[in-house]
Homo-oligomer: A and B are copies of this chain.
């Protein structure tokens, strides 16, 4: 098994944190997207969508999409459970992981990819107005999240989960396009600080 990894990019980091929380070690193959290594013929034959991370199993099966890779390892090694427990618990982790991804991580990524000069090479068509519009989506989602985190240690249920991982990575990613966490969101700051202090955050 080999994990094609991408350094500082947010999606590869999600998988590395997930593996660190599980205590699973997988051989990593670095892919430098700023050098276009995800667009080489060799990598394209592995993953025609030219995205990292991508996991290659010993039988040659290629699994891409961070959350799909994480689910594969959850099935191989269920503990600690990072996708929830029981039908309702798992559904709530899925709900919050999706909110963290679709409403936060993707909004931060839209700001970065559509407004940052270095992203001209990665984004087929930068639409600056769309990038800027996402700044307010980030702020309003974090304000909603702050209310939800009142009296809660983790985003979904009583245990750390993949929803927290996506949230941590998304908030850290806000530094690149210089999106501030709005003033006064004490619960978001506490939650983020606690996640950033876990050993897995260094992965």
Which residues does A use to contact B, with CB under 8 Å? 48-49, 57, 61, 63-65, 67-69, 71-72, 75-76, 86-88, 90-92, 94-95, 98-99, 103, 124-125, 127, 129-130, 133, 136-137, 144, 147
Contacts and interface: CB of A to CB of B under 8 A. Distances in A.
B65 A76 contact: no
Contact of A94 (B57, B65, B98, B99): B65
A129 B127 CA distance: 7
B95 A48 contact: no
A90 B75 contact: yes
A133 B144 contact: no
- Oligomeric state, in copies: 2
Contact of A63 (B75, B95, B103): B95
Contacts of A129: 127, 129-130
Given A61-B88, A129-B129, A133-B127, A94 B67 contact: yes
Contact of A49 (B69, B133, B144): B144
A42 to B, nearest CB: 18
27 contacts: A48-B144, A48-B147, A49-B99, A57-B88, A61-B88, A61-B92, A63-B95, A65-B94, A65-B95, A65-B98, A65-B99, A68-B92, A68-B95, A68-B98, A69-B91, A71-B90, A71-B91, A72-B88, A72-B90, A72-B91, A75-B87, A76-B87, A124-B133, A124-B136, A125-B136, A127-B130, A130-B130
